[in-house]
Amino acid sequence: MNFLNQLSVWVSFQLSIIFFIGIPITLFFWSIKKRNMAVNKLLSIYWKISLLFFISLLLLIGKYSYALVITNISTLLMTISVWFWNDINDELEEYDFSYSLTTTTKIWRWWLTFISLNFLILSLQNYSCFSFINSAECKIWLEPSSNFYLIIKSLFNFLFGANFTQPVAKFIGLASLLIYILGLIQWLIIQFPKNGRNSCFSKNEKY
């Protein structure tokens, strides 16, 4: 992997901290303050879907062979989740550019889409890492998760007085992945046929 590709991967992970975590947190609390049910519902759905991204980070820490595949699936699902809902899209279109909350939300959705596509393109340049993340050429994909590993390791030791190792991360990641898949299947079988692309945000109680 050449230097430019390494830099692109590093920058993509740094941007993901901002656009996958930082901005959504800000928008979520902003929507609560503004009592905007559409944006709040959008972000609530986004956080449920984005759990897969954090699961993929655990699997990267545990050096699970297919972790990069799951990372790309997670970014794809996160992107779909912010564009999928007809009632939320219609509600957002009703606000003009001067309403900063919805304008920021719209801009964020496009940036999220761009970063997810960039992740996919970079991954395809190293497609062998899809099935064997532990090879030498895939090391750059494991480095960003190492900082996350140190944070979790410190918290795990502080809260439970135990050592958080890579095998433990892999086990927790796989167990969480199984629960996530079961939840997604349950939604596809029960909720999706019932509501379709309607998020039902208008049925929520006002704050």
- Record the tokens describing residue 45, joined without a space: 């759905």
- Sequence-distant (≥ 6) Cβ neighbours of residue 116 within 8 angstroms: 75, 76, 78, 79
Average pLDDT of the chain is 87
Query: Which stretches within the chain are classed as H helix?
Result: 3-16, 23-34, 37-61, 67-83, 86-93, 100-124, 139-160, 166-186, 192-195
Q: How far apart are CA 121 and CA 115, in angstroms?
A: 10
Confidence of residue 205 (pLDDT cuts 50, 70, 90): very low
Q: How far apart are CA 35 and CA 174, in angstroms?
A: 37
Comparing 92 with 9, the larger pLDDT belongs to 92
Contact 140, 1 (CB under 8 A): yes
Confidence of residue 3 (pLDDT cuts 50, 70, 90): low
Q: What's the rounded mean pLDDT across residues 131-148?
A: 78
**pTM higher than the cut 0.85:** yes
Q: From residue 58, give the alpha-carbon distance in Å to each of 12, 68, 182.
A: 18, 11, 19
Confidence of residue 161 (pLDDT cuts 50, 70, 90): low
Which pLDDT score is estimated for 112?
95
Confidence of residue 5 (pLDDT cuts 50, 70, 90): low
Q: Is the pLDDT of residue 26 over 80?
A: yes
- Record the tokens describing residue 118, joined without a space: 């960039």
Q: Is the pLDDT of residue 195 over 60?
A: yes
Q: How far apart are CA 98 and CA 194, in angstroms?
A: 35
